Amino acid sequence: MLDMSEAKLSKHSRKLRRLFRLVALRSVGMCFLVFGGALIAKADPVFDRFIAEVREEAAAHGISERHLDNLDRLTPEPEITRLASSQPEYVKPIWAYLDHLITPNRLTLGRENLNAYRPYLDKLEAQYGVPVGILVAIWGVETNYGSNKGSFNVLQALATLGYEGRRAKFGRQQLLAALQILQSGDVSINNFYGSWAGAMGHTQFIPTTYLAYAADGTGDGKRDVWTSPQDALASTANYLKVSGWQRGMPWGFEVVLPENFDYGVAGLDQRAPAARWRERQVRAARDTKVLADSLGEISLFLPSGHRGPAFLVTQNFRALLRYNTAPAYALAVGRLSERFGGTIPLVGKWPVADRPLKPPEIFTLQRFLRKAGYLVGDIDGVAGRKTISAIRGYQRDAGLIADGYPTPGLLTHLRQKNRLKN
């Protein structure tokens, strides 16, 4: 028989056990709610139907069940959706974008890599005609020389882009190509990581571009852009060559425009031979550059409108646009490649005091332009090439300086005109 102290202890123990059971039950309940919530969050009939369709199509193209099983574990990733709407080459002012990419550290590392890989890079230049500086600049801009190749599962990134939204066609196409890459054996699923857009490896190849143009630079029978800088650089050189890169031709150079220049002839969609630009009294900003007839059809590029630096760009600039369609990207690659050899300041000054339009404002501007009958492409808050062309058309018709540059003043002009019409 227990004494009083033992009885109290026993009673206390029973209370503790009941308390522990209650906490345990509540924990299980909370786990069930959280888990149940996850199941509810995962349940997306549109996504599930998309995955089923991709699975069926991939199987019909010979993708093995082992690789198809990877699709069953995928869920949409909200972070990818967020990043897709805020690409820095379209959102940041051009001068901020260049400052972000052309840094002292990136220049130092670029020069080190130029020296470390020089014999190999020289072979690539001899084979493909692409300068070593351009190849290393792309490597630097894309992944900071391999230090930031992306941490997103490629299949998950492309499935997120592919199942709905304006990038759905791109995402689906690239997801099917990604499964083909896995089937080829060039990379394992454990190493299959890249950017939010599914770009992969040291120089960020999207899957379809990889399948068509990736090169085996080391001769080991694989096209390993994920871990081999040699394969990635060879792939980049090959892709630029097939994209129209011309041996011995610069990407472009800064120019000085005369007073009262007709800015309506500017734009990447307008091309003219060097003789035509000489007739317009356009001259190179530096004596080391010449507007030679050998440059072919060239375009006047005004990345920050008539108040900022001006560039004449060649076919090789257009080849860079095949790599990334953002003109700011192509300019960053070109400028970085030049800076490896030393400081080359621009003659023109960036209009840093100007306030660039924010994406919602560009969205409004696009709506006004479309309402006025101008072809802007997608109304997406991004001042892409179609929107810039539409801006230039509106400016020309309205008697403004037709430089194609979106400004708060232009948006105000469109708003006032819209009010008058209404």
Domain end: 220, 242, 264, which one?
A: 242
Looking at the fold, whether 262 and 238 belong to one and the same domain comes out as no
Q: Show the tokens assigned to 315.
A: 């076919």
**Boundary-marking domain end, from 200, 222, 242:** 242
In a domain, 328, yes or no: yes
Residues 178 and 293 in one domain: no
Residues 83 and 127 in one domain: yes
Tokens at residue 228, please? 């081999």
Same-domain check for residues 288 and 261: yes
Distance CA 83, CA 193 (A): 16
Residue 190 lies in a domain: yes
Q: What are the tokens at 206?
A: 């999207």
Per-residue pLDDT reduced to its tens digit, 28-47: 333 333 333 333 445 689 99
- 21, pLDDT greater than 50: no
Tokens of 233: 């650089």
Do the domain assignments include residue 73? Answer: no
Asked if residue 83 and residue 145 are part of one domain, the reply reads: yes
End-to-end CA distance of the chain: 97
**Are residue 120 and residue 197 in the same domain, yes or no?**
yes
Label residue 180 by pLDDT band (50, 70, 90). very high
How many Cα atoms within 13 Å fall on the side-chain side of residue 360? 0
Q: Is residue 335 situated within a structural domain?
A: yes
Q: Are residues 335 and 395 in the same domain?
A: no
Give whole-number Cα distances, 45 to 35, 49, 75, 158, 160, in Å: 19, 6, 11, 17, 13
Residue 18 resides in a domain: no
Same domain for 284 and 387?
A: no
Nearest-CA neighbor of 80 among 159, 188, 192, 149?
159
Give the pLDDT of residue 267.
92
So what's the pLDDT on residue 43? 64
Per the structure, the count of domains in the chain is 3
Q: In this predicted model, what pLDDT tens digit does every residue of 324-339 receive, in sequence order? A: 999 999 999 999 999 9
Q: 394 in a domain, yes or no?
A: yes
Using the 3D structure, point to which of 187, 209, 242 is the last residue of a domain: 242
* CATH code of the domain in which 367 resides: 1.10.101.10
Furthest-apart CA pair in the chain: how many Å? 116
> What pTM was computed for the model?
0.85
3-state secondary structure the chain: CCCHHHHHHHHHHHHHHHHHHHHHHHHHHHHHHHHHHHHHHHCCHHHHHHHHHHHHHHHHCCCCHHHHHHHHHCCCCHHHHHHHCCCHHHHCCHHHHHHHHCCHHHHHHHHHHHHHCHHHHHHHHHHHCCCHHHHHHHHHHHHCCCCCCCCEEHHHHHHHHHCCCCCHHHHHHHHHHHHHHHHHCCCCHHHCEECCCCCECCCCECHHHHHHHCCCCCCCCCCCCCCCHHHHHHHHHHHHHHCCCCCCCCCEEEEECCCCCCHHHCCCCCCEEHHHHHHCCCEECCCCCCCCHHHCEEEEECCCHHHCCEEEECHHHHHHHHHCCCHHHHHHHHHHHHHCCCCCCCCCCCCCCCCCCCHHHHHHHHHHHHHCCCCCCCCCCCCCHHHHHHHHHHHHHCCCCCCCCCCHHHHHHHHHHHHHHC
Residue 177 is assigned to a structural domain of this protein: yes
Looking at the fold, whether 105 and 212 belong to one and the same domain comes out as: yes
Q: Are residues 274 and 233 in the same domain?
A: no
Q: Which residues pair with 252 in a beta bridge?
A: 313
- Domain encompassing residue 400: 359-421
Q: Note whether 368 and 396 are same-domain residues.
A: yes
pLDDT digits (tens, 9 = 90+) for 214-250: 999 999 999 999 999 999 999 999 999 999 999 999 9
Share of the chain above pLDDT 70, in %: 88
Residue 46 domain flag = no
Q: Is residue 123 located within the same domain as residue 224?
A: yes
Residue 2, pLDDT > 70, answer no
- Taking the C-alpha atoms of residue 411 and residue 394, their distance in angstroms, rounded to an integer, is 11
pLDDT in tens, 78-107: 999 888 876 665 668 899 999 999 999 999
Could you tell me which residue, 268 or 5, shows the higher pLDDT? Answer: 268
Neighbours of 380 (CB within 10 A): 16
